[in-house]
Amino acid sequence: MDSDQQLLAALQSCSLANGQSQTDALAAQFDKALAAAVIATEPKARRITLTAATLHDVTELEAWLRDAKTVIEAALQEGPVIL
């Protein structure tokens, strides 16, 4: 608004009931905006692929699990991961 007269004219053109409805709607609009902001700022999950292996015994399994854990932990430093 450029002037007090324009502000007064805008206020007079709006009924109190309409103004109250618009004020009441603000809370819902703020909630929707906040939800959208949370979704937009949430880190995007990245898919990582673990190495395939043929395991013959528990020792090989434990070695593969250690390697997989290292890969997953490193990827988690950059955000959520999908396996």
Q: What is the pLDDT of residues 29-67, one digit of tens each?
A: 888 898 888 888 878 888 999 999 999 999 999 999 999
| Closest of 73, 83, 80, 75 to residue 44, by C-alpha | 80
Q: Please give the Cα distance from 79 to 83 (Å, whole number).
A: 13
Residue 82 near residue 43, CB atoms below 8 Å: no
Give the start-to-end residue ranges of the domains of the chain: 1-42, 43-83
The b-or-e profile of 41-76 (16+ CB within 10 A means b, else e) is eeeeeeeeeeeeeeeeeeeeeeebeeeeeebeeebe
pLDDT class of 75 with cuts at 50, 70, 90: very high
Where is 47: in which H helix or E strand? strand 46-47
